[in-house]
Amino acid sequence: SATAPEPITLAGVRLSFGAVKAIDGLDLALRPGSVHGLIGPNGSGKTTTLNVISGYYRPQDGAVRLGSRSLLAEAREARARLRIARTFQTPRIVGEASVIENVMLGGSVEGRASLAESLLSLPRHRADERHLRESARLALRAVGLDGLDDVRAGRLQHSELRFLEIARALMLRPAFLLLDEPAAGLSAQEIQRLGGLIRAVADAGIGVLLVEHHADLIFAICDEVTVLNLGRVLAAGTPAEIRSHREVVSAYLGA
Ligand code: ADP
């Protein structure tokens, strides 16, 4: 069934941009109910990996699967329908729309060709719209933005937009949630709240990919960590294993 807890697996994935090998033979597994941290220096292939899983980039070689099903032929809208949701480094928010309208669009926007198509697809029946609004309200509460429903999204602070993006992604009822640097620009206190939210998401059975620079957040909440360098896996393991990996420590953690 659509809710079967199957992993997403990448095997031997390669993607070059001209002469740049952004991903150079990558193996990775995202497990339901688990937080997988992806770290590494700038340009090591983290965002490219997220784009390959969400269908924004197509690799030149290798396999990307959900369970036994290949995802490579599936466009990004189809992957959204398979309940693979993502956020962006720069929140993609409709500033003129209210907070709750932005979240309501999340139930459809990733699965549609365009924002216009999404707006047209918003429910015409009052019962459907009520249901969507109620789901959006729950998503906003889950990320700690309740009480802001009718505020214009353009008036939110940067940190609030990051949480709004997650609320919108949750509207897909994702099986997998791919987060691209969600802690960027957040205060220490907000990062702690974000960590609690991500853990709760995983504990609800969702598989999370966390691309992140904040090592403290990665080590605090991840079940597994993969360290990339030049598009290859430098190290993979539990946070404890990665923390004690000599090469990783000297190269990236500044210890
Ligand atoms: P990271 O997220 O780890 O900083 P990226 O995945 O963004 O790294 O980039 C990996 C490499 O691929 C970099 O050298 C980057 O310049 C290159 N790259 C990424 N996306 C593109 C693109 N759309 N066009 C050309 N080069 C790209």
DSSP string across 59-91: -SEEEEEETTEE-TTS-HHHHHHTTEEE--SS-
What fold characterizes domain 1-83+174-255? Rossmann fold (3.40.50)
Q: What is the pLDDT of residue 246?
A: 76
For 11-38, how does the pLDDT look when each residue is reduced to its tens digit (9 = 90+)? 999 999 999 999 999 999 999 999 999 9
Torsion sign, CA atoms 130, 134, 136, 140: positive
Q: Is 229 in the pocket of ligand 1 (CB under 6 A)?
A: no
28 in helix, strand or coil?
strand
Confidence of residue 94 (pLDDT cuts 50, 70, 90): confident
Q: Where in the chain are all domains bearing CATH 3.40.50.300?
A: 1-83+174-255
Torsion sign, CA atoms 4, 83, 128, 98: positive
Q: What is the pLDDT of residue 113?
A: 46
Q: What is the pLDDT of residue 159?
A: 94
Select the more confidently predicted residue: 151 or 93.
Answer: 151
Q: What is the pLDDT of residue 255?
A: 42
If you take atom 17 of ligand 1, which residue's CA is the nearest one? 22
Q: How far apart are CA 11 and CA 220, in angstroms?
A: 27
For 29-65, how does the pLDDT look when each residue is reduced to its tens digit (9 = 90+)? 999 999 999 999 999 999 999 999 999 999 999 999 9
**Nearest Cα to 148, choosing from 90, 102, 201, 199?**
102
If you take atom 13 of ligand 1, which residue's CA is the nearest one? 43
Gap from CA of 43 to ligand 1 centroid (Å): 5
Gap from CA of 48 to ligand 1 centroid (Å): 6
Which ipTM value was assigned to this complex?
A: 0.98
Q: How far apart are CA 30 and CA 109, in angstroms?
A: 24
Q: What is the pLDDT of residue 81?
A: 87
Confidence of residue 245 (pLDDT cuts 50, 70, 90): confident
Q: Is 41 in the pocket of ligand 1 (CB under 6 A)?
A: no
Gap from CA of 56 to ligand 1 centroid (Å): 13
Q: What is the pLDDT of residue 152?
A: 96
Does residue 123 register a pLDDT over 60?
no
Backbone φ and ψ for 94, nearest 5 degrees, come out as -90, 100
Q: Is 226 in the pocket of ligand 1 (CB under 6 A)?
A: no
**Atom nearest to 45 CA in ligand 1:** 6
Does residue 248 register a pLDDT over 90?
no
195 in helix, strand or coil?
helix
Q: How far apart are CA 4 and CA 183, in angstroms?
A: 30
Least confident range of 3-7, 192-196, 233-237? 3-7
Q: Count CB-CB contacts under 10 A for residue 88.
A: 18
Does residue 109 register a pLDDT over 80?
no
**Atom nearest to 44 CA in ligand 1:** 3
Average pLDDT for 67-71: 96
Mutate to test the pocket of ligand 1, among 20, 42, 87 (most ligand atoms within 8 A of CB): 20
Q: Where are the alpha helices (DSSP H) in the chain?
A: 46-54, 76-81, 99-109, 115-121, 126-142, 158-170, 188-203, 215-221, 239-243, 246-252
Max Cα separation, the chain? 59
If you take atom 21 of ligand 1, which residue's CA is the nearest one? 17
Mean pLDDT of the chain: 89
